Chains A and B, each alone.
Chain A
């Protein structure tokens, strides 16, 4: 079997399937089913990384996602991925992994001298030392510290680095988290009650602690088979529940096994699970004891060694010693001994225990009433110091491995997120969660029921109570009798071995290099609250979230403060429970699916006509019918409108159908101007205000029948205006008989503008007289357009004689084509958004550049539209002095005095003698087709009184100062003769 430390057949490994991989350039072999950690241990590799701050050598401490030290870079086709725990990284052929935080090599790391300076680098060292000079922080200190500290390296983010991911939404009556003895029993019971169950297990197989005890094999297999036979129960392995978000919503990250990953083209899947209830069977995690040298490679949690033996057939050491304060952890002693490993001895602070007695009968040296006071070794454990409880040394014990257990801490993170209160249990030396049953229930070791059989019974009992909550009583579950738990002697609470005067650091948080001394320092400096201590020392941060030592930090702090541990509590856990790739959170909404695109009914026509598209909101709109773009193409289009005729697609405008007996009354409330007086068959320009009195949106509203209006909105505000109207209809005027319908996508709408517009439109439209007498400016009516039932409006945004025709979007192409054909003899041109903008700027019409949320109707020169009587949205607040002050920014037109100079959007307008004070700014500008040179619109303080003045337009970004003349915004045809032609 590959690897000298592979001594047995593992539960998960396939001895017939050898897998080649590289670690730090070394070619090694493991087995299918291995993790990187188990394969490294099998090959005798103990040193796997360097620590965060002191660059101390570090090894493998755990066998799960709680791993603080064995984090590696994985080099794949998508680049370097940092901080992957070797303990959960599935081994595969060709895997290339590298250790982190070392240079030039793992065995010789230059920055390891930090460790020698350790006494000068306590917690908070950076904050205190690198204070002055201030400029040096950004330029010197931070770059240096960043190079020295940290673990993995994040390479520049490029799209190809992100693994594709997907999101899946799941629903269940009950989400059971954790498929150990309690979770399996609970899921089976719930399934038997006919409930829909999702059983989420972070491990690659279900079983939890039962996987480590051969006596439980048949129980586990029977339960798993029973669950598989229940269609209402889904077991999701490799799925970590990351967070509880209230209202029964949970986030979970599923790591797909190879075949599923290949099929779905994703490595990870974010599951959003909505469950009526949750049952947390999250188990308990073994915890570390703080003693000098407790971070040396070869120091491992006792349960991890058991896992490596059972799951992968790997011995964690050749001659291990044990440092245990609880009987449960002795299972590792017995298992390793049974596998033929010689145990150097067991150190237990208790004077006697059942497990110790059994150990003695196996001939293993027992050292009771003792602790480990230090570890000898440079890059790995060589010996441990066995001390009396009072600190006196008994002797040094030669060993290559020290397996530690300080007891077990229930995994309460999810329960806490669900609002559980934590209660101190002195007999367990741990907090257990107390959860209001409406949110869910906790079962098994997660609420302090230790022992597999006890946990299985507890899981079934809690499931029974939960099923009753959901109104289910009947239980057809046939859970086999579990193997009995061994009787245990209670643990002795032991957090830290204080060895004053002895060398070596006693670590509390291995990942962040936080020592017990650092915690005491934090307390001395006033960071007495646990959350303050965390922020001062970084205890409990980063990828492992302090899972094996969170409580240890609390205990050291409690001792330093001289208060009971129950008073200090534990760090507040927040989502996520473990690191999640951003790609997994983004799911499928990346690249072309990043955000929706709204396409015009004629999108394909515009594309084939050579349009350059621009995104306006979600819409893709033709900017100009030229792939190169540029002003000449735009001005050609605009000139065609001024001189002949042009056609443009304005289908993006918001369109709201307003019907009902109270439609006019409602619109009079929504708009600042009046619509009740609008005759049928006529259109009117309208302005609506927000509640705070600022201008919100503008557009034309047409009366199609006595009780039927069609409101058009700007493209940008189409959704907001509909929401605004629905809000007022439903909550302010629920008594009105009005029905609003969004018909924005229903109608394709085209503007045909220019001196020849009437001839072109007349050729295509039937059923209506378009003569000025019968259909004057601001008329609206139904008509047949290219054979389709449509609508026609005589309105103009360009300042030219213009019509807008609307047809059902499915009839867009025949209507558009017919209009183009009819306009051919006049040289009709399709024009895009840029030309539309040029035309409207010349005319002084508004878009969102001016309706920008900071302008009032008065600012925009629309004061005369505002009705004097009757209430409407925004009326009262629009009369605030601040909104009516004469010095407000008001809409004006501007032109450069020197016609060859250009204007720029955003130019600040200043007086020639006072250039430091902005009087306003340019909102829109364009080269003109009507006038010589550029024209623009601007918002200018007291602008209406400044017509004729000369100011300076400054654009510091372009280093430009341009003399401009202030004019009326209605530069083109102020008498409106053209539109009435």
Chain B
């Protein structure tokens, strides 16, 4: 059922909204070298998914929302470390650009999450049409958003400069569903258990 209607607001919050501090590296294949890059990633224990998909490999979530480019999302480390590691590993077949500061990761979850996202997202997020394991780039609240359906909820990546605007919009839209305020206590790093 698409954009399910909200169940009456009860004690249980319909939406939880969490900040997901994470490092983000964009891995792009050099022209005609995508198979080499995929093989290299495989040797390093990373499956680079097809376009429109997200996969979890150990502690890395990998999203494919642009042709021959992947976003690697990992728990935060010292600035630039993840990108540098990949950059030196994939010389000749790919480039790795650090986008840890460029993208802000949020995770929304809860029984009403699809009803919430239907307030801004034009994509069909019905579990039948957009099951866990799919990812897409779209626009919500007039700003670019990359979203990935995880088992636990939906991961949203939005440009850092519009992250506050997006989050304010998301929080306002979530109010009627019952929003769990996300104190620091609920902040957890991204990990592979997000996608099973």
Q: Which residues of A contact B (CB under 8 A)?
A: 166-172, 196, 198, 231-232, 234, 263-265, 272, 274, 588-589, 592-593, 595-601, 603, 618-619, 657, 659-661, 736-737, 739, 741-748, 788-789, 808-811
Shortest Cβ distance from A108 into chain B, in angstroms?
48
Would you list 14 pairs from A and B whose C-beta atoms are within 8 A, ordered by A residue? Answer: A232-B1, A234-B5, A263-B176, A264-B6, A588-B172, A593-B168, A593-B172, A603-B164, A660-B31, A739-B30, A741-B28, A746-B102, A808-B79, A809-B101
Which residue of A has the minimal Cβ distance to B99?
A: A746
Which residue of B has the minimal Cβ distance to A600?
A: B161
Q: Which residues of B contact A (CB under 8 A)?
A: 1-3, 5-6, 8-9, 26, 28, 30-31, 79-80, 95, 97-103, 118-124, 126, 128-129, 141-143, 159-162, 164-166, 168-169, 172-173, 175-176
A198 to B2, CA, bound (A): 9
Which of B101, B121, B123 has the most chain A CB atoms closer than 10 A to its own CB?
B101
Q: Are A593 and B31 in contact (CB under 8 A)?
A: no
Closest 10 CB pairs of A and B: A809-B101, A746-B102, A171-B124, A598-B161, A745-B102, A171-B2, A808-B101, A737-B31, A789-B80, A745-B160
Q: Are A166 and B119 in contact (CB under 8 A)?
A: yes
Q: Are A263 and B164 in contact (CB under 8 A)?
A: no
**Chain A contacts for B2, CB-based, 8 A:** 170-172, 196, 198, 234
Q: Are A263 and B9 in contact (CB under 8 A)?
A: yes
Do A169 and B3 contact each other (CB < 8 Å), given the known contacts A743-B102, A745-B159? Answer: yes
Q: Are B124 and A274 in contact (CB under 8 A)?
A: yes
Which residue of B has the minimal Cβ distance to A172?
A: B2
Q: Are B141 and A264 in contact (CB under 8 A)?
A: no
Q: Are B97 and A741 in contact (CB under 8 A)?
A: yes
Q: Are B172 and A745 in contact (CB under 8 A)?
A: no
Q: Are A746 and B169 in contact (CB under 8 A)?
A: no
Q: Are B161 and A599 in contact (CB under 8 A)?
A: yes
**Chain B contacts for A747, CB-based, 8 A:** 101
Residue A810 contacts which of B100, B122, B162, B175 (CB distance < 8 angstroms)? B100
Which of A272, A661, A809 has the most chain B CB atoms closer than 10 A to its own CB?
A809
Q: Are B98 and A788 in contact (CB under 8 A)?
A: no
A622 to B73, CA, bound (A): 33
Q: Are B142 and A746 in contact (CB under 8 A)?
A: no
Residue B98 contacts which of A265, A588, A808 (CB distance < 8 angstroms)? A808
Which of A169, A593, A736, A808 has the most chain B CB atoms closer than 10 A to its own CB?
A169
Do A743 and B99 contact each other (CB < 8 Å), given the known contacts A263-B9, A272-B122? Answer: yes
Q: Are B30 and A660 in contact (CB under 8 A)?
A: yes
Q: Are A808 and B119 in contact (CB under 8 A)?
A: no
A747 to B80, CA, bound (A): 12
A808 to B79, CA, bound (A): 7
Q: Are A746 and B3 in contact (CB under 8 A)?
A: no
A169 to B121, CA, bound (A): 7
**Chain B contacts for A788, CB-based, 8 A:** 79
**Chain A contacts for B164, CB-based, 8 A:** 597, 599, 603
Do A168 and B173 contact each other (CB < 8 Å), given the known contacts A809-B101, A811-B79? Answer: no
Extra 19 A-B pairs, beta carbons < 8 Å, given A234-B2, A596-B142, A745-B159 = A168-B119, A169-B118, A169-B120, A263-B8, A272-B122, A588-B172, A589-B142, A597-B164, A597-B165, A598-B162, A601-B161, A657-B97, A659-B97, A660-B30, A660-B31, A739-B95, A745-B161, A808-B100, A809-B160
Shortest Cβ distance from A708 into chain B, in angstroms?
8
**Chain B contacts for A657, CB-based, 8 A:** 97
A788 to B30, CA, bound (A): 28
A597 to B28, CA, bound (A): 29
Shortest Cβ distance from A586 into chain B, in angstroms?
12
Q: Are B119 and A809 in contact (CB under 8 A)?
A: no
**Chain A contacts for B103, CB-based, 8 A:** 745
A198 to B26, CA, bound (A): 39
A737 to B165, CA, bound (A): 36
Shortest Cβ distance from B146 into chain A, in angstroms?
13
